[in-house]
Amino acid sequence: MAATGQDGDDVDHYEILRLPSGAEGAALTVEQIEKAYRTQSRLRHPDKRPDDPNATADFQTLASSYKLLRDEPLRRQFDARLRGRREAAARAAATGVRRRRAVSDLEERERAFAAGGGPYVDPDELARREDKRKAADIDRELSELKARKSSRISGSASTSAHGDKKGGSTENGVKTDKGKYLKVSWEGGADYYTAAKLEEIFKQFGKVEDIVIKTKKSRNRGSAIVVMASKEAAKTALKNHSVYNVFLVPLMVAPVEESGPAFATPPSEPPRAINIDGTGFVDMEASVFRKLQEAHKRKQCG
């Protein structure tokens, strides 16, 4: 069980082998990991600790961590989870700093009012202003993220003047090969998977061209579209369902349906809701394909 990392999501298998963790741990070679295991197994063998009641359990944990770190796919997944933990901790720390700053500001205003140095401001009003400021910060970050996504899509979009007879669809010269697109969804925390974590998972099946995370409307459910570099890579990802079940939050992966033209939904219409494996999912592929078309048009006009 420990070899999959499911029996304790907070376990750091590098630390179990007394190795550096994080980016430094991810850069270690298999030979370095094997050397550390041999050293620790000699030092922590139960025969050398007859008076320690936890010696056997500790040795089993050591062997399980070593087994996981020797398995390259499982190690990549574990490294991705470690990065996710660090990112979540950094976000929590940043949120704590902003909250403390807001509280400090509120206390300062209350002191100023008590001293007669300023007008009274209702605490609820201050809280609303702070919420509004946070919403503006989130909107700005989303706009920056969308701009980066548009830039990546513009750089990777393939075009064809006469269409594609073998698959996908074209409109105004923009080719959209749906065979490379995968719908990914999960339940158990909308922000559990980032684009970086998904790329780490899917690149074991082939090159990943792009990942678009759906705007979160539910705290529990998350979804994304993963664009593989080829149909073969997408098919390989679809065949390996067992890989997605080893995570604490399992992934559901399905192909993008070949239904109608890629840009059938007018730009003025909102995305329509569909379901994948029983979970709510927004039909984002039309939006992604439309972005490809717009990027190509801008390139032609430029």
| 283 vs 300: which has the higher pLDDT | 300
Answer whether residue 169 shows pLDDT above 70: no
Answer whether residue 97 shows pLDDT above 90: no
What SS3 state is found at 118? coil
Answer whether residue 158 shows pLDDT above 50: no
How do beta strands 169-171 and 251-255 pair?
Answer: unpaired
Rounded CA gap, 90 and 216, in Å?
20
Those residues with Cβ within 8 angstroms of residue 31's Cβ, 6 or more apart along the chain or in another chain? none
H/E segment holding residue 77? helix 72-114
pLDDT for 138 equals 82
Q: How confident is the model at residue 148 (pLDDT cuts 50, 70, 90)?
A: confident
Q: How confident is the model at residue 5 (pLDDT cuts 50, 70, 90)?
A: very low
Rounded CA gap, 50 and 274, in Å?
60
Rounded CA gap, 180 and 232, in Å?
8
| Residue that the structure tokens 């039309």 belong to | 286
H/E segment holding residue 183? strand 181-187
Crossing angle of the two packed helices 195-202 and 72-114, in degrees rounded to 10: 180
DSSP 193: -
DSSP β-bridge partners for residue 175: 170
Answer whether residue 262 shows pLDDT above 50: no
pLDDT for 159 equals 42
Residue 184 and residue 244 in contact, taking contact as beta carbons nearer than 8 Å: no
Average pLDDT over residues 197-215: 89
For 19-75, write each residue's pLDDT tens digit: 998 889 999 999 999 999 999 999 999 999 999 999 999 999 999 999 999 999 999
pLDDT for 56 equals 95
Answer whether residue 296 shows pLDDT above 90: no
Q: How confident is the model at residue 280 (pLDDT cuts 50, 70, 90)?
A: very low
Rounded CA gap, 16 and 102, in Å?
40
Mean pLDDT of the chain: 77
Average pLDDT over residues 117-135: 76
Those residues with Cβ within 8 angstroms of residue 18's Cβ, 6 or more apart along the chain or in another chain? 36, 40
